[in-house]
Amino acid sequence: MTKDEPATMTCPLAKTSAVTDRSGAASASIRGVAPTPAEADLDAFIRARDFPCVGAKAALVRGALTMKTLGSLLSNDDDMALWLALSKFSEALDPKAAVVQSFAVSFPDTPALSEIAFERALWARINGLHYIDTQMGQGWSKDTDADPQSNNFSLSVAGQSFFVIGLHPGASRPARRFDHACLVFNSNAQFASLRQDGRYDQMKSIIRERDKALAGSINPMLRDFGIGSEAAQYSGRRVGEEWACPFFKRPPVNLPLDPDAALIEELVEAAE
């Protein structure tokens, strides 16, 4: 998908699950169905003793990690399904919750990709989500910038700003090296709340020490909030100052900001 050629969209909706079981096995989803194999794999990946992100571990065991399984990261077929799931997640999000709430979407049909290819696919999906935002008449989140070169940039989907973490088999950092492609969306509004009460810095220090123990060094791409654009961190690939973010901002079209179910269905049918 290029700036001038927006992707078409179809909507084969997939199941979404929130993992709450503390026993070590993936639990049943909030929709009453068993987690997919990809979701069970992610559950085990996060529960592994040496996995460094304590925030993700806490979210998993306390039922604050919502999971979804789609198809391939290389395809735009599921962009609408992902947008709808993120919108639903955003509506239920509590920025002041004691535990970080995260949304993780797995793409088990994605072939093995190099770090560069994965980065391109990640940004293709981000551009696809943004394109849907514009079709829904949704403006950018007011608490972040749309310019990916800005120190205050953050991805906006359905009015909520997110920090995105990409996982895939070809990642050079072990904390990002997962059996299949996966994108994790964390709310920046919740991070802001954690920064205000001091929990963010404490959690950040613990994660960085654990990541250093796992990889032998601190991730060189890590930046403190407000220092450099977070966009460079999304894919996990090490990039230099010359890196140009492949994100293309579009203005919203003249549609309601809160489209009802009938309008969504109409848009989906028109895109198929």
* Residue 212 confidence (pLDDT) above 80: yes
Closest CA to 84 of 16, 183, 8, 177: 16
How many of the other CB atoms lie within 10 Å of CB of 50?
A: 10
pLDDT tens across 55-73, in order? 899 899 999 999 999 999 9
User: In this structure, what are the phi and psi dihedrals at residue 80, rounded to the nearest 5 degrees?
Assistant: -65, -40
Burial label for 123, CB within 10 Å (0-12, 13-18, 19+), is buried
Per the prediction, the chain carries an average pLDDT of 81
Give residue for tokens 């793409």: 107
pLDDT tens across 223-257, in order? 655 567 899 999 999 998 899 999 999 888 865 55
What is the band of 104 on the pLDDT scale with cuts at 50, 70, 90? very high
Domain ranges of the chain: 16-271
